[in-house]
């Protein structure tokens, strides 16, 4: 567990390419500087292990919100679905000492800012399920226009919540907004991005 948490922090603060498995072992105070390599073989496997560790909680929370919205007949509301995507990650960002959302932002950078590539690293089943529900409720957009908007929405969610996590760690606020107002504003912004009419004719 210490190796996982240390790797998450170093990847978040330094970047994935800039962090070696040897450095992870050293920072995790392992006697053997090859410990991370011994336990995880390579960086890709270590990345997947971090995702699996965090997403067991985040995806479970997202699943709870999804079931609640379904029971109350709120799945036709794109803003409700965006909230289901955003809120569990925002809750993680607000956890004391959390580095996961900044790690996620670095992971997004690592795969070329293609958020659709992140699920291949492991987990995210509930996020993918909610993403499909959102997509199904945006019928006004033709497919060529829909894909980039979904990518931008994912990037906005991750980068905005990474900023929130950094601010929480520093004991400050983002844009002088309290956490609840900031998260609500993010949900509004992402919903607007996804549901705005196309100007293409």
Contacts for 163-169: CB closer than 8 Å, 24+ residues apart: 164/90, 164/93, 164/94, 164/101, 165/92, 165/93, 165/94, 165/98, 165/99, 165/100, 165/101, 165/102, 166/102, 168/93, 168/94, 168/96, 168/98, 169/97, 169/98
pLDDT per position as a tens digit, 34-66:
777 767 888 889 998 998 889 888 988 988 999
Residue 1 pLDDT level (bands cut at 50, 70, 90): confident
CA distance 92 to 81: 18
Sign (positive or negative) of CA dihedral 37, 40, 44, 46:
negative
Query: Please, which residues have CB within 8 angstroms of residue 186's CB and are 6 or more apart in sequence?
Result: 86, 90, 156, 157, 160, 161
Give the separation between CA 132 and CA 118, rounded to whole angstroms: 15
Q: What are 174's strand-pairing partners?
A: 177
Cβ neighbours for 114, distance < 8 A, ≥ 6 positions apart: 108, 151
Q: Please tell me the pTM assigned to this model.
A: 0.88
The neighbouring-strand residues paired with 177 are 174
Is residue 26 predicted with pLDDT exceeding 70?
A: yes
Burial class of residue 126, CB neighbours in 10 A (0-12, 13-18, 19+): buried
Token digits of residue 187 = 């949900």
Which pLDDT value is given to residue 38? 67
Report residue 61: phi and psi, to 5°: -65, -45
Angle between helices 78-93 and 179-195 (to 10 degrees): 140
CB-CB contact of 46 with 40 (8 Å): yes
Average pLDDT over residues 123-135: 75
Distance CA 88, CA 65 (A): 9
| Mean pLDDT for the stretch of residues 165-169 | 96
Question: What residue ranges do the domains of the chain occupy?
Answer: 44-195
Give ∠ CA 78-83-84 in degrees, rounded to 5: 100
Average pLDDT over residues 124-145: 74
Under 8 Å between Cβ of 167 and 173: yes
């Amino acid at each position: 567990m210490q190796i996982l948490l240390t790797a998450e922090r170093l990847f978040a603060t330094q970047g994935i390419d800039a962090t070696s498995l040897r450095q992870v072992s050293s920072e995790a105070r392992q006697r053997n500087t090859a410990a991370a390599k011994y336990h995880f073989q390579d960086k890709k496997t270590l990345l997947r292990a971090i995702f699996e560790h965090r997403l067991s909680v985040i995806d479970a929370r997202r699943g709870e919100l999804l079931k609640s919205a379904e029971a109350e007949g709120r799945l036709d509301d794109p803003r409700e679905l965006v909230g289901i995507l955003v809120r569990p990650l925002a809750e993680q960002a607000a956890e004391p000492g959390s580095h996961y959302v900044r790690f996620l932002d670095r992971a997004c950078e690592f795969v070329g800012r293609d958020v659709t590539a992140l699920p291949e690293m492991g987990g995210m089943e509930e996020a993918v399920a909610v993403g499909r529900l959102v997509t199904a409720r945006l019928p006004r957009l033709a497919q060529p226009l829909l894909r980039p908007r979904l990518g931008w929405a994912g990037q906005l969610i991750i980068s905005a919540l990474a900023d929130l996590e950094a601010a929480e760690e520093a004991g400050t606020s983002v844009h002088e907004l309290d956490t609840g107002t900031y998260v609500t504003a993010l949900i509004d912004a992402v919903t607007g991005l996804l549901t705005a009419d196309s100007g293409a004719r």
